[in-house]
């Protein structure tokens, strides 16, 4: 069982590194203009995707209807617009969320 598990860990590691390095291997010499274009526009799109990905398990059809996520998320946006300090925005939003789920909507 341990040998098989070790093989599975190695398989997961190898496939992951292959996925991460494939574009670098394929576009080794000259980056096609299309790929450079994707490199310009994909980052902000993927951050948008990751925001949704993090909130995917939020249930909005029953209590607390995603209200803690909404309030804390808006707090992060507000703090970021106000101070432009990511660490402050993240800490502030997380503390607000923890208070909401532990004390307010518990």
Partner 1 sequence: MQVQSRTVSKSVIVRKAFLTSLPVMAGYVVLGIGFGILLRNAGYGVAWAAAMAVLIYAGSMQYVGIGLLAGGAGIITTILTTVMVNARHLFYSISMVDRYKNAGRYKPYLIFALTDETYSLLCDGETPDREHADLYRFLVSLFNQLYWITGCLLGSLLGAVLPFSSAGIEFSMTALFIASFTEQWLRTREHIPALTGLFSTLLCLLVFGPENFLIPAMLLITLILTLLRGRLGRKAV
- Is residue 94 within the footprint of partner 1 (CB under 8 A)? yes
Largest CA distance in the chain: 56
Which of 3, 41, 62, 63 touches partner 1 by CB under 8 A? 41
Q: Which x/- pattern, by CB under 8 A, does the window 14-33 give for partner 1? A: -xxx-xxxxxx--x---x--
Radius of gyration of the chain (CA): 20
Q: What are phi and psi of 89, to 5 degrees?
A: -60, -45
Contact between residue 68 and residue 95 where contact means Cβ atoms under 8 Å apart: no
Contact between residue 77 and residue 96 where contact means Cβ atoms under 8 Å apart: no
* Residues in touch with partner 1 (CB under 8 A): 1, 4-5, 7-13, 15-17, 19-24, 27, 31, 34-57, 68-69, 72-73, 76-77, 79-81, 84, 86-87, 89-90, 93-94, 97-98, 100-102
């Amino acid at each position: 069982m341990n040998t098989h598990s070790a093989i599975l860990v190695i398989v997961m590691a190898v496939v992951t590194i292959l996925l991460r390095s494939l574009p670098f291997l394929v576009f080794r010499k000259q980056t096609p203009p299309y790929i450079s274009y994707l490199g310009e526009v994909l980052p902000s799109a993927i951050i948008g995707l990751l925001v949704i990905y993090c909130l995917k398990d939020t249930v909005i059809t029953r209590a607390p209807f995603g209200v803690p996520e909404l309030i804390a998320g808006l707090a992060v946006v507000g703090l970021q617009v106000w101070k432009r300090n990511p660490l402050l925005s993240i800490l502030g939003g997380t503390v607000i969320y923890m208070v909401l789920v532990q004390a307010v909507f518990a």
